[in-house]
Structure 1
Amino acid sequence: MSSNTSASAPAPDISTEKLGPLMRALVVIEKVGNKLPHPFWLFIGLAVFVMVLSSVLSKAGLNAVNPATEETVTAVDLLSAENLRAIVSGVVTNYTEFPALGLVLVVMFGVAVAERSGLIPVLMRGALVKTNPRYITVVVALVGAAASMASDASYMIVIPLGGLAFRAVGRNPVIGCAVAYAATSGGYSAAPFVNSLDAILGGISTSAAHIVDETYTVTPVANLFFNFVSMFAVAAAVTLVTELLLNKRGEQMTLDADVVESEDDHRLTAITAEEKRGMVVAGIGLVLSIVLVVVLAWPSGSFLRDAEGGFGPESGLMAGIAAIIGFGFWILGIMYGVATKSIRTWSDIPDMMVKGLAPFIQVLVLFFAASQFLALFKMSGLGEIFAIKGAEFFQSIGANSFVILLGTYLLVALAALFITSGSGLWTLLAPVLVPMLMFLGIAPETTQAVYRIGDSTTNIISPMSPYFIMILGFIQRYKKDAGIGTLLSLTIPLSIGMFLVWGLLFFVWWALGIPMGPGAPSTYPAG
């Protein structure tokens, strides 16, 4: 197993003279990136930088008009006495309201029990025991690309499973985590079914389209066809980059001693009779859980529906999906543990939860610094102003449809580095981009599709994404000295691969005039 070299052995020779140009570039990225301060201090430093920059730009009178609200957005001086007072009073709420914090804790409570009881390892082993290891990358990538049905909770589920899957077949689990992260992030806009993001983006696109045509409606299934095919494009891109490039990086990494010493625990052995019994019991529990959710959601006035009786983003089902998934893992883990006797007393359950969460304590510490930086960046108004200015510049270039779409793709990919909320960024850009492209003969559904892929492909390399810190925590379970440089050396190639492959799919799709979804044309009768 080439990836799991002994920790006592000398570090692999990664002299740039012995590597090809691409490998040399990744080694340089890792070396330079790892010279950066610890992520905790990096985010604290960025927070201070934002405060100083906001003061300078505020005094310079930087502002922009938000096309969504027609309100003037002005750079806020965070160094003023009033705002310093607000910053100090908001430290606690910045952390407690950090989007990823609650998701990590709630989902990992359940996943910890499912993992420590043995359910997750045996499921992975059962799925992979007869699988050719050469196919593990595409399997993990496909699972990640299809995981958006679990909303943000998909990150907490798929990433650790990706590491386990790679390790189970003797490959570097760090690479497995990176593959799962890239596919899950990209797959957020590439899914087999409609999810909450479809409804959110469709509503924003409809409002923007009304600037030109008050009768136009962008439905939640507007990108369904393209999203389904995109799932395979994302998996293909991630697989291609991993097999051609990242596996070589994995062979150069030395994992920590405790990971290597426990290697026997993760080898692919035959499923025992006791484990099979546990899987059957857990399977019955899964079926009963699904039936229970369906029964509870069936009545028109169900608490799992929204005020209109649907399952939109404000419904109990979608808003509480993280809790539902976390509780589901918790119940199934308990059922499996009781059946296999890995859980013998009630006290075993909270003990498993504590042990399962222990590796993520460092992530919770990083979340504190990251939450303060992101809160200050939002408070300064700089992210909103930069996005508006970029959109206005793009609107003024007056190029043909292909160039406009390509420019949109590049603009969104760049803006997504600074504003990682997909709905938030689209709220800013849609009122400019959707009407402009309608005048050029491009349908809102098409504009929304190119936005989605631009937004998805660069999120995995943005330090402003809360999940950027979370994936670093998962990787450090296997390699404690991994830093931002290590992570970027893995995610940058994956981001570029998805950007190229997914972009090619989009432009071919658009050029052929294929509908993006049911009743969703690719063109609009301009003029």
Structure 2
Amino acid sequence: MKNSKEKGFVLRSLDTIEVVGNKLPHPVTLFFYFAITVVVLSAVFSAFGLQVNDPVNEGEVLTVKNLLSAEGIEYMFMNAVANFTGFAPLGTVLVTMLGIGIAERSGLISAALRGLVTSVPKQLMTAALVFGGIMSSMAADAGYVVLTPLGAVLFAGLGRHPLAGLAAAFAGVSAGYSANLLLTSLDPLLGSLTQEAAATLNPAYAESMNYAMNYYFMIVSVFVLTLVGTFVTEKIVEPRLGTYKGAITDQVDYLSSVEKKGLWGALIAFLATCAALALLIVPEWGPLRGEDGAIINSPFFSSLVPVILLMFFIPGFVYGKITKSIKNDKDVADQLSDTMATMGAYIVLAFAAGQFVAYFNETNLGRILAIKGAEFLETTGFTGIPLIITFIVVAGFINLFIGSASAKWAIMAPVFVPMMMGIGYSPELTQMAYRIADSTTNVISPLMPYFAIVIAFAQKYDKKIGIGTLISTMLPYSIAFTIIWVLMLIVWMLFGIDLGPGSPIYYQP
């Protein structure tokens, strides 16, 4: 590949973003700053008598609660622990990660991904890599460390440019993060924040929501993005890279007979788990079926967190027993403990974010800002598809500076979810628009946590590769995925198709 000493506008802009982003405080620190800002603003706006008419409860007036008053200070001290333990995503993430942790640490996730991409015909290798990368989001970060280096090795073995294989896998893993055939840990994580934000404007509507609110859109996205990623790899990225002339020393790590046996056992366990869960909801006497016979708004959809836990834990346990990565209950306990140990940073973040979100709600600043914002948008007439596209652009730009999907949504959801509800767009639609922006810009964000690791993998084949080279390679994926996903969302909006079970596009109070 030829490297130009003079960088284009896009790469210069991304270099600037990297510099600015690196100077930003840690997300934990940011949330503490935001919490302090909310406290100060509550005193200022309360002193100025800011108020609005509540559109949900007619006749009621919303005023700003001053957190620097005696009552406000008492609230902050008395509720510090409750704000932390009551932070919506905290419990859901920790519980789902218990199941995913067993599936990952037993070796099931890695074996499943390797088995998928090494067992397809060479003509379908590109599609298999992109598809496998998209599906790897069910195991959080496993795709970055398993599929990206494997993609390079597989392409090299086929006489193709290894960096094209790495790029295809990286695009699937990162840019397709919000598409999957299964529910992942990201669904309850973001969904709980969305529900909490929606509850500030309409608690009854928030109670009717479920974590599978984007599931239909996610399923279709898997196949569409697989086709788009395959096209970009074979028609744009690979021809640009040219012929690889370096030496190949790595070998493909094919599945052993024990691993294959373990995968079959895990598949049987997964199907048995699905069958057992089906008995809880499909029959009319199913205990997780709604009282009126409804399935969408049934206890089942309110129990998706333990459902996800079981669907990962049981197959992971069976795989571990067959492959001997789990020999006894001590191994299970150790793997669960190791998984929770990796969540330490998230728990600290949850404490800071919990205070910010609670203060924002307690002061009524979130609702007032949402109502004022909705009124402004209606006055200007800036609504509809242009508004949604603008929101996606703004969220994608923010993603270049703050990599954590949950951290960004914890900041944005309390403002944008009720604001969009105020002009007739459902929380489910706002969340899906955010997920599109967050996923598609991951591959061009130098601050994405795994970006440096992917560069390290790439430097095995070209020692001169740096941030600019990788970004220029991944930019076509980011652009193509964004365009196709936005077009999909426009189709959904035009035809009013539900984004998930009981999850409409438009909000009706």
TM range (shorter): 0.5 to 0.7
Q: Which amino acid aligns with 2:317?
A: I
Task: Indicate how the Cα distance of structure 1 residues 275 and 501 shifts in structure 2: closer, same or farther if over 3 A, else same.
Answer: closer
Residue 13 of structure 2 corresponds to 25
Q: Is the CA contact 1:74–1:381 (under 8 Å) kept in the aligned structure 2?
A: yes
Aligned with 1:58 (options 22, 46, 59): 46
Task: Indicate how the Cα distance of structure 1 residues 429 and 343 shifts in structure 2: closer, same or farther if over 3 A, else same.
Answer: closer
Residue 287 of structure 2 corresponds to 303
> Shift of the alpha carbon at 1:389?
1.5
Residue 112 of structure 2 corresponds to 123
> Shift of the alpha carbon at 1:420?
6.9
Q: Is the CA contact 1:113–1:349 (under 8 Å) kept in the aligned structure 2?
A: yes
Distance (whole Å) between structure 2 residues aligned to residue 420 and residue 319 of structure 1: 24
Q: Is the CA contact 1:162–1:179 (under 8 Å) kept in the aligned structure 2?
A: no
> Shift of the alpha carbon at 1:336?
1.4
Residue 370 of structure 1 corresponds to 353
Q: Is the CA contact 2:420–2:430 (under 8 Å) kept in the aligned structure 1?
A: no
1:357 is the counterpart of 2:345: no
> Shift of the alpha carbon at 1:21?
2.3
Residue 321 of structure 2 corresponds to 338
> Shift of the alpha carbon at 1:33?
0.9
Distance (whole Å) between structure 2 residues aligned to residue 429 and residue 159 of structure 1: 31
1:87 is the counterpart of 2:76: yes
Distance (whole Å) between structure 1 residues aligned to residue 478 and residue 145 of structure 2: 19
1:327 is the counterpart of 2:306: no
Counterparts in 2 of 1:22-421, with a 5 A limit?
22-70=10-58, 71-130=60-119, 134-135=126-127, 138-140=130-132, 142-143=134-135, 157-161=139-143, 163-170=145-152, 180=173, 183-185=176-178, 268-313=252-297, 315-397=298-380, 404-409=383-388, 413=392
Distance (whole Å) between structure 1 residues aligned to residue 496 and residue 50 of structure 2: 41
Residue 250 of structure 1 corresponds to none
Distance (whole Å) between structure 1 residues aligned to residue 215 and residue 97 of structure 2: 30
Q: Which amino acid aligns with 1:385?
A: I
> Shift of the alpha carbon at 1:20?
2.9
Residue 5 of structure 1 corresponds to none
SS for the counterpart of 2:68 is: coil
Q: Which amino acid aligns with 2:130?
A: V
Residue 152 of structure 1 corresponds to none
CA offsets per residue over residues 359-417 of structure 1, 9 Å max, x none? 2222222222222222222222222222221211222235xxxx642344257558987
Distance (whole Å) between structure 2 residues aligned to residue 230 and residue 69 of structure 1: 38
SS for the counterpart of 2:112 is: helix
CA offsets per residue over residues 291-340 of structure 1, 9 Å max, x none? 11112223324321233332335x33222212122133222222112112
Distance (whole Å) between structure 1 residues aligned to residue 346 and residue 312 of structure 2: 21
Q: Is the CA contact 2:265–2:322 (under 8 Å) kept in the aligned structure 1?
A: yes
Task: Indicate how the Cα distance of structure 1 residues 475 and 77 shifts in structure 2: closer, same or farther if over 3 A, else same.
Answer: farther
- Tell me which moved more, 172-181 or 372-381: 172-181
1:433 is the counterpart of 2:413: no
Q: Is the CA contact 1:94–1:372 (under 8 Å) kept in the aligned structure 2?
A: yes
> Shift of the alpha carbon at 1:350?
0.5
> Shift of the alpha carbon at 1:186?
6.8
Distance (whole Å) between structure 1 residues aligned to residue 427 and residue 484 of structure 2: 18
> Shift of the alpha carbon at 1:450?
6.7
SS for the counterpart of 2:67 is: coil
Name stretches of at least 5 consecutive residues in structure 1 with no aligned partner: 3-13, 145-154, 209-220, 248-262, 435-446, 463-470, 480-484, 519-523
Residue 521 of structure 1 corresponds to none
SS for the counterpart of 2:18 is: helix
SS for the counterpart of 1:64 is: strand
SS for the counterpart of 1:433 is: coil
Q: Is the CA contact 2:131–2:222 (under 8 Å) kept in the aligned structure 1?
A: no
Residue 444 of structure 2 corresponds to none
> Shift of the alpha carbon at 1:122?
0.9
Task: Indicate how the Cα distance of structure 1 residues 25 and 270 shifts in structure 2: closer, same or farther if over 3 A, else same.
Answer: same
Q: Is the CA contact 1:279–1:336 (under 8 Å) kept in the aligned structure 2?
A: yes
SS for the counterpart of 1:316 is: coil
Q: Which amino acid aligns with 1:397?
A: T
Q: Would you say how many aligned residue pairs link Structure 1 and Structure 2?
A: 426
Q: Is the CA contact 1:76–1:380 (under 8 Å) kept in the aligned structure 2?
A: yes
Q: Is the CA contact 1:114–1:332 (under 8 Å) kept in the aligned structure 2?
A: yes
Distance (whole Å) between structure 1 residues aligned to residue 168 and residue 213 of structure 2: 34
Residue 254 of structure 1 corresponds to none
Distance (whole Å) between structure 2 residues aligned to residue 237 and residue 366 of structure 1: 35
Q: Which amino acid aligns with 1:302?
A: G
> Shift of the alpha carbon at 1:48?
0.8
SS for the counterpart of 1:297 is: coil
CA offsets per residue over residues 166-221 of structure 1, 9 Å max, x none? 24334799997886465344779x99xxx998xx99xx9xx99xxxxxxxxxxxx9
Task: Indicate how the Cα distance of structure 1 residues 284 and 312 shifts in structure 2: closer, same or farther if over 3 A, else same.
Answer: same
> Shift of the alpha carbon at 1:342?
1.9
Task: Indicate how the Cα distance of structure 1 residues 452 and 272 shifts in structure 2: closer, same or farther if over 3 A, else same.
Answer: closer
CA offsets per residue over residues 131-175 of structure 1, 9 Å max, x none? 56644663156537xxxxxxxxxx663443455322433479999
% identity of equivalent residues: 29
Task: Indicate how the Cα distance of structure 1 residues 356 and 493 shifts in structure 2: closer, same or farther if over 3 A, else same.
Answer: farther
Distance (whole Å) between structure 2 residues aligned to residue 229 and residue 284 of structure 1: 26
Distance (whole Å) between structure 2 residues aligned to residue 450 and residue 321 of structure 1: 20
Q: Is the CA contact 2:133–2:170 (under 8 Å) kept in the aligned structure 1?
A: no
Distance (whole Å) between structure 2 residues aligned to residue 499 and residue 456 of structure 1: 11
Name stretches of at least 5 consecutive residues in structure 2 with no aligned partner: 153-162, 203-211, 239-248, 396-407, 442-446, 456-466, 500-505
- Tell me which moved more, 132-141 or 167-176: 167-176
Task: Indicate how the Cα distance of structure 1 residues 451 and 123 shifts in structure 2: closer, same or farther if over 3 A, else same.
Answer: closer
Task: Indicate how the Cα distance of structure 1 residues 32 and 186 shifts in structure 2: closer, same or farther if over 3 A, else same.
Answer: farther
CA offsets per residue over residues 469-511 of structure 1, 9 Å max, x none? xx977889999xxxxx99xx9999988766544334455787x
- Tell me which moved more, 162-171 or 318-327: 162-171
> Shift of the alpha carbon at 1:93?
1.6
Distance (whole Å) between structure 2 residues aligned to residue 384 and residue 97 of structure 1: 19
Give the structure-1-normalised TM-score: 0.64
Task: Indicate how the Cα distance of structure 1 residues 173 and 57 shifts in structure 2: closer, same or farther if over 3 A, else same.
Answer: farther
Considering Cα pairs closer than 8 Å and 6+ residues apart, tell me whether 1 or 2 has the greater RCO.
Answer: 1
- Tell me which moved more, 412-421 or 369-378: 412-421
Task: Indicate how the Cα distance of structure 1 residues 476 and 293 shifts in structure 2: closer, same or farther if over 3 A, else same.
Answer: farther
